Amino acid sequence: MILLIGTVKIRLVHPRNPTQARPLLHPPTPAPYTTTFIRELPTFTSPQPSGISISSSSSSAEPGPSSSTASSTGVVSGTTTTSSAVILTAAGGDGGDDGDDSDDDGEDNSNNRGPSSRSRQSNSRYRGNNRYSGMRRTHAAFHYDPATFVHVTDIGNLERHCPHCDALAFPNERRGICCNSGKVFAHVPAPPPLLLELANGSHQYSQHYLRYIMQFNGLFQFTSFAADIQFMSDNHGNRAWNPNFKVLGQVYHRIGSLFPSSGQLTKFMQIYFLSQSEQLSRRRSIFDGLNPELIQLLTAMMNTENPYVAQFKSAVSTIQHSSTRSLKVRSNMYSTA
């Protein structure tokens, strides 16, 4: 069992030296492992040439109809991971078109399996590895090339939509997760135009806003986040580096008093009760590097659009002229059902 896993591993991620494979004009000198590798290749049976021809045609950029589906069915069905990886590299070698020593085509290689053709096949393999070895070892997903990448699972388009709530879904997605057949409804009002422009990229500060959106939200949030965060400690009991954010118990949000106690800076909700200019300077001082103009725009927007700001402000004015010591927040009266 262990032995089997070991061989599979060696086949798939054998360390190859791309610099050795570089001189294509020289007659190919197969690496010592290549012969054993070729001997264990699965023989190409009848459906296989489709995979090879498709990949070569797509690498020469012909707009073949239904090429992706044909290649995915032709290659993936009935072959293991190892064999499809082999086809991938063979396709890369065939599409290489380096002129002088290029093979006729993949079909020819696969059919006659004499020693000479074996060496040529190894050559094409070799060149394929030269081109793709680096990308396969690291960050393969970031160098995705649809011409050679054959492990494509087609999940369809986002084309089905729920008759009750207009939610879009993929064809095989489970039904009813969007609105439970019309039983769930939540009112989602249209956002203010400023936020819409910032989010969809049409505002001049969109890029800045979206990059620092968590900081911008931090400037305007009423409550603060709190949890019993678990830290791993090192051998000396100091706080070590923690790869995960781990919470014991509940995550909760906390809200402070309406006014800061003496000597304290205004925080979170308390900032909203300052004057406009004071709000601006206070908000600017929280994070470095945020655009002050955008802070001003967002402050103005929050003061006009957000119902809680008005609610808290009126509460502040009444609480200052009365003996009331505390106030209760009622939720905003949007319907959720």
Partner 1 sequence: MVPAGEHRGRYNTPSRNNPEVAVVFDDTATAPRDIVIRQHDDKLSRISEYHASYDTLQYPLLFPGGENGYHFGSPVTCMKHYAYILMLRKSQNPSQSARVRFSILHASKGLFQQFLVDMAAKTISERLLYFRTHQEEIRAEAYSSLLDQAASGGSLNDVGRPVRLPSSFFGGPRYMYNRQQDAFAILRRYVDFRATLS
Using CB under 8 A as the binding rule, the residues of this chain from 154 to 183 that contact partner 1 are 158, 161-162, 165-168, 177-180, 183
Yes or no: say if 301 and 243 are a contact pair by the CB < 8 Å rule.
Answer: no
The single residue among 151, 259, 265, 281 that binds partner 1, judged by CB under 8 A, is 259
- Give Cα separations from 127 to 84, 98, 149 (angstroms): 17, 10, 17
Find the shortest distance in angstroms from Cβ 82 to partner 1. 20
Judged by CB under 8 A, the stretch of 43-51, 146-154, 258-266, 284-292 that binds partner 1 is 258-266
CB atoms within 10 A of CB 210: 14
CA 68 to CA 83: how far, in whole Å?
18
Q: Which range binds partner 1 by CB under 8 A, 14-22, 36-44, 88-96, 320-328?
A: 320-328
Applying CB under 8 A, does 189 fall inside the site for partner 1?
yes
Among residues 182, 186, 188, the alpha carbon closest in space to that of 165 is found at 182
Most distant CA pair in the chain, distance = 100
Binding mask 227-246 for partner 1 (x = CB under 8 A): -x-x-x-xx----xx-xxxx
197-226 residues near partner 1, rule: CB under 8 A: 199-200, 210-211, 213-214, 216-217, 220-226
Q: Tokens standing for 223?
A: 């409550």
Chain centroid to CA 36: 39
Question: What is the contact mask toward partner 1 in residues 286 to 315, using x (rule: CB under 8 A)?
Answer: ------------x--xx--xxxx---x--x
Minimum distance of partner 1 from residue 150's CB (angstroms): 24
Q: For partner 1, how many residues bind (rule: CB under 8 A)?
A: 85
The contact pattern for partner 1, residues 1-40, with x = CB under 8 A and - = no contact, is x---------------------------------------
Complex with partner 1: residue 292 or 307, whichever CB lies closer: 307
Using CA atoms, how far apart are residues 167 and 151, in angstroms rounded to an integer?
A: 29
Helix axes 67-76, 48-59, angle to 10 degrees: 140
Segment 99 to 158, residues that bind partner 1, using CB under 8 A: 158
CA–CA gap between residue 86 and residue 129 (Å, rounded): 10
Residues within window 74-93 making contact with partner 1, judged by CB under 8 A: none
CA distances from 12 to 107, 133, 151, 217 (A): 23, 11, 15, 46
Among 66-74, 82-90, 117-125, 256-264, which window interacts with partner 1 (CB under 8 A)? Answer: 256-264
In angstroms, give the least distance from the CB of 172 to partner 1: 16
**What is d(CA 212, CA 218) in angstroms, rounded to the nearest whole number?**
10
Binds partner 1 by CB under 8 A, chosen from 256, 266, 280, 303: 256
The tokens describing 214, both together, are: 């968590």
The phi-psi region of residue 167 (left if phi > 0; otherwise alpha if psi is between -120 and 50; otherwise beta) is beta
Residue from 77, 257, 281, 318 that binds partner 1 (CB under 8 A)? 257
CB of 212 to partner 1, least distance (A): 9
